[in-house]
Structure 1
Amino acid sequence: MKTLLHSCRAGLLTLALALGLGGPAAAQQRQTFTQQFAGSTVLLTSGDTLQGPLLLHRNEDVILLTMPDNTVNTFSAVAVQSFAVKGQQDDRRNYYDDFFDSRSGYYYGNPYYNMPPRPRRERRDTSLVRVFRTFRWNHDNDYSDFKSPAFFEQLSGGPNLLLRRESLIERPVYNNPMYGGYGYGMPRTMYYNEIRDAFYLGLPSGNVLSLRNPKKDLLAAFRQHAKQIEQYAKDNRLTFTEARDLAFIVNYANSLQKEPKP
């Protein structure tokens, strides 16, 4: 009986892994993420300034810049001081803001039911100028002193800068067999892509402070004015999780003191 029970458990585990139900490791996977922009101005560490259409490889922290003669120059973050871009040209892969937003009215137990998913709303303004700066970063490895140059998007004014890094995450959707069409009553795993924001605080010293828990970590960084900042967010109905709201909060925090203590 015990042997049979162990065999059944092993079979269920194998089936779960095959269906993508293998726990947190299978719940999300980082995808290759590139963004294309119609125009850019790039300031190199050499002091040179270049302009042209730009392709940003976010995972690798590399940009490809198309020159007026149609040649393409490749620059890693170590060669770039900052760059500004506008005119984002989406690759039509329809990224979701989040799971609950994407599923509302767009499918009924079946991803991509009869309508395409809603693209991320904040990307519609192609005239928006976005600024990226290079910081040396430990890649969120708190146990390592090694830092390498990486691109961060600047979302606020200074002297302490709200920074963001975006990554593309593939998430599964497990479908109930009651919605049919999959045969033998077995659920089918399908996937959707989601853009995930990670926030940081760029300090005047050049260091980068990770805001893993934006509210807790930001209030700790500006601990002397934490109560004022929290009250400001409450009075203005600002959250500590949305990029736009968080930028307002950091700008306010900057008005209260010049530099937080990390």
Structure 2
Amino acid sequence: MKKAFPTLFTYVLLTITALAPFEAWAQYRSAIDVQEWPAGKIVLTSGDTIYGAITFHRTEEIVNVQSKDGLLRTYSPVNVQYFIAQEQPSGRPYTFKSLDWDLGRDYSKFKKPTFFEQLNQGPVTLIMREDYYQKKPANVPLANNQYYDSRYYAQNPEWLAQIDELYYLLLPNSEIVTLRNVRKDLHKLFGKKSKSVKKYVKEHHLNYEKPHHLVAIVNYFNSLVAETAVNAMQTEN
């Protein structure tokens, strides 16, 4: 069982290497906290836009862009408004914004520009960061006929580094709310519309632990907010 991890990881690396010359890979991790895309753009606080291959170092909070002329530039959140990385050849975008954040410290007035991945559009925006820890799983993924879970990154024969998605809500007033208990905290924020959202979740068999389901839940809440605003305007008229 101990030999299964390097075998699987070697297979993944070989697959990426084989695809890389054609730029057919979507995005991959060269390390547990480093993601790379073959195309994208960075919009700076100065207003300048730079295009090229994107490398995002999540832990270090820096993003690199390598333009076609080979020039490599490095930026921190303080220099960036947002950046968009794109899969190839699908063109699927991944959007990251630099937001002023209190680092999750309650009642702190200190805020620091920090990168968050934006998962949707709307009055209430679901945003995400990642955390990492070592785990020795009970069920080991096998290279021949079992499974591959993108939350795991093989580092040695016995341990895997696991990726934890940490979710937050960006409110219209730019406040960032930490979702420590995702389901409970979401419905607290949904207020009077919580009952309608719960009904929607049940009818569509949604799971609060799945990112694309969370996006659907927040988007539905946003649609209720928009509907309320429209009804209010019609009443006034």
Instruction: Provide TM-score, normalisation by structure 2.
Output: 0.70
Offset, 1:174: 7.6
Offset, 1:159: 1.3
Offset, 1:144: 2.6
- Whole-angstrom distance in 2 between the partners of 1:77 and 1:247: 24
Offset, 1:173: 4.6
Partners of 1:135 and 1:207 within 8 A in 2? no
AA paired with 1:227?
Answer: K
- Whole-angstrom distance in 2 between the partners of 1:229 and 1:173: 35
| Partner-residue secondary structure (3-state), 1:130 | strand
Residue in structure 2 matched with residue 197 of structure 1 by the alignment = 165
**Cα deviation 1:12-54 (Å, max 9, x = unaligned):** xxxxxxxxxxxxxxxxxxx961111111111111111110001
Residue in structure 2 matched with residue 211 of structure 1 by the alignment = 179
- Whole-angstrom distance in 1 between the partners of 2:181 and 2:93: 27
Q: What are the ranges of 5 or more consecutive residues in structure 1 without an aligned counterpart?
A: 1-30, 89-124, 176-188
Residue in structure 2 matched with residue 50 of structure 1 by the alignment = 50
- Whole-angstrom distance in 2 between the partners of 1:148 and 1:32: 24
- Whole-angstrom distance in 2 between the partners of 1:47 and 1:251: 29
Over 3 Å counting, the alpha-carbon distance change for 1:166 and 1:195 in structure 2 is same
Residue in structure 2 matched with residue 142 of structure 1 by the alignment = 106
- Whole-angstrom distance in 2 between the partners of 1:52 and 1:67: 4
AA paired with 1:50?
Answer: I
Residue in structure 1 matched with residue 210 of structure 2 by the alignment = 242
- Whole-angstrom distance in 2 between the partners of 1:164 and 1:40: 19
Over 3 Å counting, the alpha-carbon distance change for 1:126 and 1:140 in structure 2 is farther
Residue in structure 2 matched with residue 253 of structure 1 by the alignment = 221
| Partner-residue secondary structure (3-state), 1:59 | coil
Partners of 1:83 and 1:133 within 8 A in 2? yes
AA paired with 2:102?
Answer: N
- Whole-angstrom distance in 1 between the partners of 2:121 and 2:107: 30
Residue in structure 2 matched with residue 64 of structure 1 by the alignment = 64
Residue in structure 2 matched with residue 113 of structure 1 by the alignment = none
Instruction: Provide TM-score, normalisation by structure 1.
Output: 0.64
- Whole-angstrom distance in 2 between the partners of 1:174 and 1:240: 24
Q: What are the ranges of 5 or more consecutive residues in structure 2 without an aligned counterpart?
A: 1-30, 140-156, 227-237
Offset, 1:75: 0.4
